[in-house]
Amino acid sequence: MLTIRNWPPEGGVINVGSGVFAESMQEQGANVYQVKWQPPAHGKAELIDILDELEGRSDIDKANQTAIERFSSAQPVLTGIGVAREAIPGFGDRMLLHAGPPITWGKMSGPLRGAVIGAILYEGWADSPEKAEELASKGDIEYSPCHEHSAVGPMAGVVSPRMPVFILENRTHGNRSYSTLNEGLGKVLRYGAYSEEVLDRLRWMEKVLAPILKKAIELSGGIDLKSMIAQALHMGDEVHNRNRAGTSLLIRALVPYLVEVDHPQADIRKCLEFVNSNDHFFLNLSMPAVKAMLEAAHGIHKSSVVTIMARNGTEFGIKVSGLGNQWFTGPAEIVKGLYFPGYSEEDANPDIGDSAITETAGVGGFAMAAAIPIVQFVGGAPEDAIRFSEKMYSITITENRHFTIPILNFRGTPTGIDIRKVVETGILPQINTGIAHKAPGVGQVGAGLVNPPWECFEKAIIAFGKEYADGN
C-alpha cells in the first residue's frame, strides 16, 4: 500500500527560482520561502561533483561541531606584553613577520615594502632607507607570515624582533596569540611609512608605553577580552573598523592599575593620552583575541571551517581547519568604499592585513549590523549593514553564543565559515576594512568593503575533496 505523507502538503512552499511564481503564490495567500537561487559553485560542474560528495556528511558536520565548540569555549585573556623575539615562537634573528600568506620581496606591494624598510631601520640593521631596501631585497632577511607564529598584524602587519607585543592566552586550551601595539593613525609603519617620526614613535612605544602597560596588565591579573568584545558589539563596534567602544572599555579596565604603576606620572599620562587618542588601539587586541579562539579550532580532522583569512597586499589567503598548514590563495582585490578627500580608487593598494581574522571569527564585517554608524565610514545605508550581516548566516554553521547583535534581536553573530556553504551559495565572506595607499608611507586613504577572491575557496574545496571525499 502506497502511503503519501503530508498530502496535500501543509505549510508553506519553498520557491527555488522564478520570483514570478513566488509572487503569484504569495498573492494566493501561501507562505512562501523564497530562495535567491544562484547556480551552485558558480555553475562549475567539477566543483558541484565535489560538493555532492561533501554535503550531508555527518562526519564532516561532527568535525565542524568540534571545531566550533573549541572556538566558542576558548577564553582569550590579555596576560602581558613581551618582546617579539622572546615571546613569539619560532622567531629568527633576522626575521620579519608580515600580514597575509607567504610572500617574497619581489612581490610585495608598496605599503608592505615600506614597513619592511621601516622595520630594518628600527632594528638598526641598516642606517638608510636605500641600504635597508638593498638588504631587504638581497635575501638576508627571512620573511614569515604572522599567522604561522600565532600572531596577527593589521595592514602590513610587520613585526620585528625588538618590537613589544601583546601576549594573550587562551585559558581554556592553553594556546597563546600575539600582536604588536597599535601605533595610531596617519604616518605609521603598518601603512608603510618609515620616516624618523614613525621610528621615534616606535621607540617611544618600546621604551615607555609597553613597560607601563605591561605592568598595569600584570597587576590586573589578566584582562578578559572575550567579554570585552561582547560588550563592544553592544556599544556600536564591530571590532574591525570601529573600535571606539573597545578602546574605551580597555582604558576603563586599565586605569585602576595604571595609577598603581611605579612610573613618572607624565609618562603614564602620555600613555593614556596615546591610547585615548587612537580609536583603533583595541583592534590590536580584538585581532589576537579572535586569533587565539580560531587557532583552538584549527587542525580538526575533517573540519571544513575556515580558520584564517589574511592578505599581504598582493594575495589573499585562507586556511581551513581540516587541511593543515596549506594556504589557499588568490589575488587580493581592490576595496570598494569611501575615499578620504583627494584620494580615489587609483591610489588604493590591493586589500592588505591580517585584520580579516575578525571576519573569520564572525565579527568585523559579519557583525556590521552591530555597528550601524560604520556605514558612514565604509559607505552604504544602515539597511546595508543589517543586510550584510544577515547574508553571512547563509555561509556559516552556527550563531555565536557570546557575541550578539542587538538589532537582530540579540541574534548571535554568524560563526564558523564553512567552505562548502561558500562554494554552494557563491556568497563570499563580507570584510570591511581600511584602504592603504599603494605608495609606502602615505597611510590610510579610505575604508570600505571587500570580499576574498573566489579562487581561495575554489582551491580549498578541491583540496578538501581530495582529502575527504571518499569518506575517510
Partner 1 sequence: MDMYEQPFYLTAVSHGREFERVLKDRKTFKVHSVFTHAVNLVAGSGFLTILPLGRGCGKDVATVAVSERFSFFALDVSPGDEAGMPASCSLWLGEKTVIDFSGSKGWRSPLEAVNCLHTIGDENMAVLESALASKHNDSVFSRGFKFNVNSEPAACGGVIEDIRRTLLENDREGLEKALAGVIGFGPGLTPSGDDLVLGISLARSVFGTPWRSKGSIWEACVRRNLHKTSDLSAFFINRALEGCAHETVERALVYVLTGEPGEAKDAVGRLLSVGATSGCDIGLGIYLALNWQRRYAWCSKGW
Partner 2 sequence: MVFKRLVIKPNSYHDSIVLMRLARTVRNIDKVVAAQVGMATGLNKDAVREMGFVSQELETATANDLIVAVVAEAEDAIDNAEEVIKESLEGSARQEPGVKAAKIYATLSEAASVGGAGIAAISVPGEYAAREAGEALASGLHVFLFSDNVSVEDEVRLKKSGKEKGLFVMGPDCGTAVIGGLGLGFANKVRSGRIGIVAAAGTGLQQVMAIIDRLGEGISEAIGTGGRDLSKDVGGITTFMGLAFLESDPNTAVKVLISKPPHPSVRDNLIRMLDDGAKPVVVCFMGEEVGEARRSRSGKVLFAGDLEEAAILAYQLATGESKESLYSRDELDEMARKVMRRVDGGGYFRGLYSGGTLCHETLTMLRRMGIDVYSNIAQDRRLLIEDPLESFANTCIDMGEDYFTRGKPHPMLDPGMRVPRYIAEAGRKDVGILLFDVVLGYGCHRDPAGVMAEAVREAGRIRKDMGQGLAQIAVMVGTAGDPQGLEKQAAVLSEAGAEVLSSNRAAADLVSRIIKAQGGTRQCLR
Chain residues that interact with partner 2, rule: CB under 8 A: 2-18, 20-21, 24-25, 27-28, 30-31, 33-40, 43, 48, 52, 56, 73, 75, 172, 224, 226-227, 230, 234, 386-387, 390-391, 393-395, 398-399, 401-402, 404, 406-411, 421, 424-425, 427
| Binding at 259: pick from partner 2, partner 1, none (beta carbon under 5-8 Å per type) | none
CB of 427 vs partner 1, minimal distance in Å = 15
CA distance linking residue 365 with residue 81, whole number of Å: 28
- The H or E element containing residue 71 is helix 58-73
Residue with cell 551559495: 425
At 413 the three-state DSSP class reads strand
Question: Which residues, including other chains, have CB under 8 Å from residue 65's CB and lie 6 or more apart?
Answer: 397
- Considering CB distances under 5 to 8 angstroms, the limit depending on partner class, which of partner 1, partner 2, none binds residue 34? partner 2
| Residue 394 engages partner 1 in binding (rule: CB under 8 A) | no
285 and 78 Cβ atoms separated by less than 8 Å: yes
Q: Which of 8, 39, 106, 221 binds partner 1 (CB under 8 A)?
A: 39
Q: Which residue matches cell numbers 554535503? A: 55
Q: Nearest to residue 182, comparing CAs of 114, 100, 89, 246?
A: 246
The binder of 10, among partner 2, partner 1, none, by C-beta within 5 to 8 A per type, is partner 2
Write down the least CB distance from residue 354 to partner 2, Å: 25
Q: How far is the CB of 19 from partner 1 (least distance, A)?
A: 6
| 292 Cβ contact partners less than 8 Å away, ≥ 6 residues apart | 74, 76, 150, 168, 169, 170, 175, 176, 177
Is 37 one of the binding residues for partner 1 (CB under 8 A)? yes
Q: Cell for 210?
A: 609597553
Q: With CB cut-offs between 5 and 8 Å by kind, which of partner 1, partner 2, none does residue 15 bind?
A: partner 2
- State residue 441 phi and psi, 5-degree precision: 85, -5
Q: Are the beta carbons of 160 and 96 closer than 8 angstroms?
A: yes
Q: Residue count at the site for partner 1 (CB under 8 A)?
A: 7
Smallest gap from residue 40 Cβ to partner 1 (A): 12
Task: Looking at residues 273 to 312 of the shown chain, list those that interact with partner 1 (rule: CB under 8 A).
Answer: none
Contact 22, 33 (CB under 8 A): no
User: Alpha helices, DSSP H only, in 353-445?
Assistant: 357-360, 375-378, 382-392, 419-425
Q: How far is the CB of 47 from partner 2 (least distance, A)?
A: 12
Strands (E), 194-260: 223-224
Q: How far is the CB of 16 from partner 1 (least distance, A)?
A: 9
Closest CA to 445 of 128, 185, 98: 185
Q: Which stretch binds partner 1 (CB under 8 A): 17-25, 67-75, 313-321, 434-442?
A: 17-25
Q: Which residue, 36 or 94, is less far from partner 1 as judged by CB?
A: 36
Partner from partner 2, partner 1, none contacting 398, C-beta within 5 to 8 A by type: partner 2
20 vs 266 by CB, closer to partner 2? 20
Which one of 11-19, 46-54, 325-333, 410-418 is the stretch in contact with partner 1 (CB under 8 A)? 11-19
DSSP per-residue codes, 53-113: HHTT-HHHHHHHHHHHHHHHH--EEEEEEEEHHHHSTT--TTEEEESSS---GGG--HHHH
227 touches, from partner 1, partner 2, none (C-beta below 5 to 8 Å by class)? partner 2
Nearest to 308 by CA among 177, 164, 172: 177
* Closer Cβ to partner 2, 34 or 326, answer by number: 34
Task: Decide which of partner 2, partner 1, none touches 3; Cβ closer than 5 to 8 Å per partner kind.
Answer: partner 2
Nearer to partner 1, 38 or 276 (CB): 38
* Binding partner of residue 349 among partner 2, partner 1, none, CB cut-off 5 to 8 Å per kind: none
In a 10 Å sphere around its CB, with 0-12 CB exposed, 13-18 middle and 19+ buried, how is residue 44 labelled?
middle
Residues 355 and 343: their CA atoms lie apart, in Å, by 22
Give the interface with partner 1 as residue ranges (CB under 8 A).
17-20, 37-39
